[in-house]
Structure 1
Amino acid sequence: MALVTEQRSSRRPRPAHLAALLGLVAVLLVTLLVAPDRASAAGISGESVVHTNRVTEGDGTRVPDIISTSETNAVVVWREGTTANVLPDVGAKVFDHGYIRYSYTTNGGTSWSRPQTLAQETSEYSWHYVTLFETGGAIYAYLGRTSPANRTGLPINAIVAKKSTDEGHTWQDVALNMPLSLVQDAPGYNLALAGRPLQLGVNRYVMPYWETKRRNGLLYSTDLVNWERRAPVNNPLADQPGEPQLVVSQDDPDELLLVARNTPATGTTSFAMTATTTDEGEGNNWTDFQLSTTVPSNDSKGYFTKDSAGRYLTIYNSAKNRLALNYKVKPVGKSWLTAKPFADGPADTTSDGSGWDAYPMADEYAPGKFYVVWEYDTSRIKVAKLDISDL
């Protein structure tokens, strides 16, 4: 700015090429001053590593979840692979359902506490999944238990709950009555939880489930202790739904939208499967599953939510190789916006999950602002902040 003023005060005519050069310099200066960096433009900031485990080569840190209680406070949980001493077969390869760990931050993700054990593996028990829910100043963790003798992590033989009243720093056992069946193929057999529960009103809670034969639906509770399994969604398609997420519908605030991972029958479909309640969110009556051509799914768990401003947000794998995550936003009353890249890290191990950025979950800490957690390379748990408040 001073340079231009000084030249203008000389009153001497500028050569044409000099004027053009100065104009170009001015444009570049404005661009540098105004344009945000790539991360800021994408709304992504503060990426950090919660925990690293390179030892078990693909059977370490997996399927995380996160709850934030403020802009600076959050807790992350994940499952860790088995350790050799609990395996029933001496010398057998370890696998990825072992024990459940957690870590928390009090400074916005700049640093994370040393990981602690939420549920310990033993020679009798290992742990398949963990899902978090926050309400009334308390955080609940729902954990699916299996046996290390079952290398697939199935069947689920118990679901237990833990509760924290200090933002995830310490945990206590709490009572839980889940409709889990131990009878093969019966309703509730292999009951699995993969999506965030919702509070719909006073003493009204719902949680998405999936179970044997890839049946999907919701659980209903009035007290967070006793849960009732509601009727599953009818699926007329050959594709198989799983790991469902549950939100209040943008189209009807009295109804719920279920969004599920799609395992396609032909290996070519790349869209999520969706269904909507037709009984004011009670979960006994649903539309049939259908393909949602605006919500991607590449046969891997995606995250789907509705934020406090009513926007839909989905974070998903951009291809079936799980090497990168994208995100998309749908503002209220508008079409889905163009997808943007979220994470694409290089391979860090030689495991089956080399280079994976997968299994995202998130939690809104301020309007349109999220903590996002995901597994990276099956060797690290990562967290970043995502801001969609201006979309």
Structure 2
Amino acid sequence: MNSTPILFKHIKLFTFIFLITALVSTNGYGEEIEYEGDFMDVRTIRRIEQHPHAWRVWQPFIIKGQKKNHLIVAFGAMANGKKDMGDILATVSKNDGDTWEEPIPIFDHRQRKGELQFAYANPVLYKIPGQEVIWCYAMRNPIASENSEESHLVAAFTADGGFSWTPVEMAMRYTGPLILNAGVVETQIKGEKRYLLPAHRNTLAADPRGSRDHFILSSSSLLEWKLEAFIPQPTEARVFLHEGNIAPWGKKGELKIVMRTADYDDTSLTANPPRAYSSVSTDGGRNWSVAQPEPDLHNAKSKGYFGQSSNGTHIYVYNDGPAQRGKAPGFPNGGRTSLRYKIKPAGEGWSDEMTFYHAGIKNSYPTLAEVAPGDFRCV
């Protein structure tokens, strides 16, 4: 591997407080936690004590707004008694994250749809370049469900920078369950503009004839979504491919997806060895290569961020160590503690491992937004 200069000239991290333990910046008593990593600044956005109807805040997603220093973060507030679903809210900062507005509900599990009641999970934000409208896609599941793995796609948009949101019922040509994780990517397929949304499903968890597949949805309007492609499974042994991020790769029109992995038949196990898998499309996302392991990219059943900066450098942010509940030397409390990262300048290999953020506590599921060349914001 190559030893490469750090990609970032400035990184600011925004954090959430889960239960009584700080995700990164403070402990349960509000005291500052010492940390190491390539950050210039750390701010806390929300604490669970601010959400009396929830027992956890989770899965944040950050996006740059239309104006300078304008940031929007969508996140989930996990309903009491639910494993991984509840409300989706958005909070806005007008001063580059120094302070944050009171969150606005995007999807509220207490608001019934006629006789039906839903809970929501996993928000994803997207803004078309040059437009002020910002979209939020999320997962919707009947409130009585045990978990959110049989969810369907739901959307809302804001035209005022995140201060109000309008739900939209979409025209879905893909009607199966899905699980979201990563952002929308703009591309061209056969000369026409398309938007790609990566997703996966885990119907095998509740159905012996189900499957664990990663796939790509596409849209020409952000309102109508169809199944564009499946990511082909490895030819030797199947792997549970999920939570993939898409970024430009190689020549014009080429894309790469880097995916979290687990054992296909027993999801309590990591892939062997624990590595991320990837697939490449050379036609804008219509067809994809057979998934294969990334020898330099560690993954132990935890979401990693994969993206490309404005200068063409790729970045992979991940948890080192074992799976969340696994034990290994140096990880007495299991995995999902330290966040590490690697970068890959154009035409070069992946760098050595560097520390993104480490404070001796649990940290996972990062998302990044580049606000200027080499200047990133992260939750």
Give the whole-Å Cα distance in 2 for the aligned partners of 1:239 and 1:169. Answer: 41
Q: How far off its partner does 1:310 sit?
A: 0.9
Give TM-score scaled by structure 2 length.
Answer: 0.75
* Correspondence 1:345 to 2:336: no
Give the whole-Å Cα distance in 1 for the aligned partners of 2:214 and 2:82. Answer: 30
Q: How far off its partner does 1:154 sit?
A: 3.0
* Correspondence 1:271 to 2:265: no
2:195 matched residue in structure 1: 205
Larger CA deviation: 104-113 vs 118-127: 118-127
Where do 1:136-147 residues align within 5 Å?
Answer: 136-147=131-142
**What amino acid sits opposite 1:226 in the alignment?**
E
* Correspondence 1:361 to 2:367: yes
**What amino acid sits opposite 1:171 in the alignment?**
W
Equivalent position SS for 1:230: strand
1:239 matched residue in structure 2: 239
* Correspondence 1:111 to 2:108: no
**What amino acid sits opposite 2:201 in the alignment?**
E
Task: Name stretches of at least 5 consecutive residues in structure 2 with no aligned partner.
Answer: 1-8, 13-35, 203-210, 324-334
Give the whole-Å Cα distance in 2 for the aligned partners of 1:94 and 1:218. Answer: 28
Judge conservation of contact 1:59–1:95 (CA < 8 Å) in 2: no
1:32 matched residue in structure 2: none
Give the whole-Å Cα distance in 1 for the aligned partners of 2:183 and 2:74. Answer: 13
Judge conservation of contact 1:327–1:341 (CA < 8 Å) in 2: yes
Q: How far off its partner does 1:96 sit?
A: 3.2
Determine which of 163, 183, 187 is the counterpart of 1:196: 183
Equivalent position SS for 1:154: coil
Q: How far off its partner does 1:332 sit?
A: 0.8
Where do 1:20-31 residues align within 5 Å?
Answer: none
Structure 2 CA distance for partners of 1:59 and 1:276, relative to 1, 3 Å: farther
Equivalent position SS for 1:216: strand
Where do 1:41-52 residues align within 5 Å?
Answer: 43-52=38-47
**What amino acid sits opposite 2:77 in the alignment?**
E
Task: Name stretches of at least 5 consecutive residues in structure 1 with no aligned partner.
Answer: 1-35, 84-92, 182-188, 347-354, 374-391
Larger CA deviation: 123-132 vs 107-116: 123-132
2:348 matched residue in structure 1: 334
* Correspondence 1:126 to 2:119: yes
Greater helix percent: which structure? Answer: 1
2:205 matched residue in structure 1: none
2:315 matched residue in structure 1: 313
Give the whole-Å Cα distance in 1 for the aligned partners of 2:355 and 2:229. Answer: 36
**What amino acid sits opposite 1:256 in the alignment?**
L
Give the whole-Å Cα distance in 2 for the aligned partners of 1:175 and 1:82. Answer: 23
Judge conservation of contact 1:101–1:116 (CA < 8 Å) in 2: yes
* Correspondence 1:291 to 2:293: yes
Give the whole-Å Cα distance in 1 for the aligned partners of 2:293 and 2:52. Answer: 37
Equivalent position SS for 2:171: coil
2:248 matched residue in structure 1: 248
Give the whole-Å Cα distance in 1 for the aligned partners of 2:11 and 2:145. Answer: 45
Give the whole-Å Cα distance in 1 for the aligned partners of 2:317 and 2:94. Answer: 25
Structure 2 CA distance for partners of 1:42 and 1:198, relative to 1, 3 Å: same
Greater strand percent: which structure? Answer: 2
Judge conservation of contact 1:56–1:94 (CA < 8 Å) in 2: no
Judge conservation of contact 1:60–1:96 (CA < 8 Å) in 2: no
Give the whole-Å Cα distance in 1 for the aligned partners of 2:84 and 2:214. Answer: 24
Q: How far off its partner does 1:106 sit?
A: 0.6
Give the whole-Å Cα distance in 1 for the aligned partners of 2:359 and 2:164. Answer: 32
Structure 2 CA distance for partners of 1:260 and 1:57, relative to 1, 3 Å: farther
* Correspondence 1:72 to 2:72: no
* Correspondence 1:159 to 2:153: yes
Judge conservation of contact 2:217–2:229 (CA < 8 Å) in 1: no
What count of residue pairs does the alignment treat as equivalent? 310
1:225 matched residue in structure 2: 223
Structure 2 CA distance for partners of 1:56 and 1:299, relative to 1, 3 Å: farther
Equivalent position SS for 1:327: strand
Percent of pairs with identical residues: 23
1:63 matched residue in structure 2: 59
Give the whole-Å Cα distance in 2 for the aligned partners of 1:345 and 1:148. Answer: 36
Judge conservation of contact 1:180–1:191 (CA < 8 Å) in 2: no
Q: How far off its partner does 1:334 sit?
A: 1.3
Determine which of 153, 166, 170 is the counterpart of 2:164: 170
Give the whole-Å Cα distance in 2 for the aligned partners of 1:175 and 1:37. Answer: 39
Give TM-score scaled by structure 1 length.
Answer: 0.73
**What amino acid sits opposite 2:218 in the alignment?**
Y
